[in-house]
Amino acid sequence: MSYKKVVICGAGFLGSNIARYIANAPAFNAVTRRVQLSSRNPQLLHSKLEKDVLKDRLLPPVTLDITKPHTLPPAFENADVIVSLVGLMHGSAQQFDEIQWRGAENVARAAKQTEAKLVHFSAIGANPNSHIPYIRTKGLADKSVLEICPNATIFRPSLVFGPDDDFFNRFAKLARFLPFLPVYGGGTARFQPIYVGDLARAVEIISRLDPTIEKQVSGQIIEAGGPDVYTFKQLMELVLNHTHRYRPVISFPYSFGYVQGAVLEKLPVNLFTVTRAQIEQLQQDNVVSPESSSHVITFKTLVEGNDHAYLKPLSEILPQYLH
Q: Over the stretch 60-89, which tens digit does the pLDDT of each residue have?
A: 999 999 999 999 999 999 999 999 998 888
Residues 217, 204 contacting (CB under 8 angstroms): no
For residues 25 and 32, what is the distance between their CA atoms, to the nearest angstrom? 8
The burial of 182, by beta-carbon neighbours within 10 Å (0-12 exposed, 13-18 middle, 19 or more buried), is given as: middle
Rounded mean pLDDT of 161-174?
95
For residue 290, the tally of other CB atoms under 10 A from its CB is 7
- Of 251, 76, 122, nearest to 181 by C-alpha is 251
Alpha-carbon distances of 289 from 55, 73, 135, 223, 316, rounded to whole Å: 41, 36, 16, 8, 24
For residues 222 and 300, what is the distance between their CA atoms, to the nearest angstrom? 10
Summarised one tens digit per residue, pLDDT across range 220-248 is 999 999 999 999 999 999 999 999 999 99
Residues 233, 144 contacting (CB under 8 angstroms): no
In the chain, the domains with their CATH numbers are 2-160+194-224+288-311 (3.40.50.720)
For residues 274 and 191, what is the distance between their CA atoms, to the nearest angstrom? 18
Which pLDDT band holds residue 1 (cuts at 50, 70, 90)? Answer: low
Sign of CA dihedral 238, 243, 249, 254: negative
Q: Does residue 295 surpass a pLDDT of 80?
A: no
% of the chain residues with pLDDT over 90: 84
For residues 273 and 156, what is the distance between their CA atoms, to the nearest angstrom? 24
For residues 309 and 32, what is the distance between their CA atoms, to the nearest angstrom? 21
Residues 6, 83 contacting (CB under 8 angstroms): yes
For residues 298 and 180, what is the distance between their CA atoms, to the nearest angstrom? 38
Residues 191, 159 contacting (CB under 8 angstroms): yes
Which pLDDT band holds residue 293 (cuts at 50, 70, 90)? Answer: low
Summarised one tens digit per residue, pLDDT across range 197-221 is 999 999 999 999 999 999 999 999 9
Mean pLDDT (the chain, rounded): 93
Residues 137, 169 contacting (CB under 8 angstroms): no
Cα-Cα-Cα-Cα torsion 154, 155, 156, 160, nearest 10 degrees, comes to -150
| Alpha-helical regions (H) of 50-103 | 72-76, 93-96
Specify the pTM. Answer: 0.95
Which H helix or E strand runs over 230? strand 230-231
- Of 131, 212, 196, 192, nearest to 161 by C-alpha is 196
